[in-house]
Amino acid sequence: PARCLTGPTPALPPCHSCHLPLDPEAIRQTLSGQDNLLRKHDQLLEDLMGNSVALSGQVNELSNQMMSLTSLLASLTSTPPAPAAAAAAPPPSTPPMAPSLGKEPHTADPEPYSGDPKKCKQFLLQCSLVLGQKPLTYATSESQVQYVVGLLRGKALDWATAVWEVSPGVFKSFPLFIDEFKKVFEHSVQSQEAASKLLSLRQGSRSVAEYSIEFRILAAGSGFNDSALRGIFIKGLGEQLKDELAVRDETATIDSLISLAIRVDERIRERRSPPPAEPEPMQLGRARLTQAECTRRMSSRECLYCGQRGHFIAVCPVRPKEKARSFRGSSG
């Protein structure tokens, strides 16, 4: 309530504690300060109430937006997409999707391994190919070891059983298991044997193409470098081929040498092909038919003289009968 402080102020009773009269001016100042302080507090409360109302409105708006987004997300995940209209334009082409990682190709297992040192490399190669094509099925070292052990038989399985009883930790590391496996079954004698066979290999009566196939198989396991292989390959060729290659430029690799030798050998064999046979009297200048060609024409019901169908040599319209008779008469 408003106070009127402008009129005359009645005298206040004296203070009983100190027996001194109160100062009216001091009381006025005190009351005025308290009135200003109350006004400030009222204004501050009004500001706080306004801010609270604004914040409450913002919270309600955010809550409504959140509910709308939640409803939209639920409708997208639960409702299947509507089928496209028949007249709608086709969607733009998209790159094909990669095949699912969960689908692995079907591969046949290698033949069981019984401990033959000559088949050790082939067995490990086939196992590595299968494991490479099925990275999900055999994702750990232990599963890879288990796959290989499952294909062991005979002495190889006996070895794996002994290792399992003594050093089971070997079965937890695929590289370690393969190293131990090679120590037992992959002997270095194979390389020495391949090198020995390669040094004694000869072309003989075979073509260079046939000779090169066996040469490459032995060379792969011999350990010789490219320069040594070129010398060994030439050493095993026939003498005529050696003479032909001696006058040609030296090749840089074993592959180029083999290709050159095959071409030269094919040309030599073409020159060795037999010349045309002497003409038969009954064919009058035509080349003699080979036995294979005669058989083919007879089975195809073709004339042995002109090769046409519909008649035989006895009634061949192309065959000059009079000359054939006179030739046979003079020879008789």
The CA-to-CA distance between both ends of the chain, in Å, stands at: 168
The whole-number pLDDT of residue 220 equals: 84
The whole-number pLDDT of residue 300 equals: 78
- HEC string for 155-186: HHHHHHHHHHHHCHHHHHCHHHHHHHHHHHHC
How is the chain split into domains, by residue range?
117-187, 190-272, 274-332
Residue 212 or 55, more confident? 212
Mean pLDDT of the chain: 79
Share of the chain above pLDDT 70, in %: 76
Cα–Cα distance for residue pair 22/249, rounded to 1 Å: 135
Dihedral sign, Cα of residue 159, residue 163, residue 164, residue 168: negative
Task: Judge if pTM exceeds 0.85.
Answer: no
Lowest mean pLDDT across 4-18, 92-106, 172-186, 259-273: 4-18
Average pLDDT over residues 102-131: 89
CA 128 to chain CA centroid, Å, is 13
The whole-number pLDDT of residue 91 equals: 54
pLDDT over 90 at 177, yes or no: yes
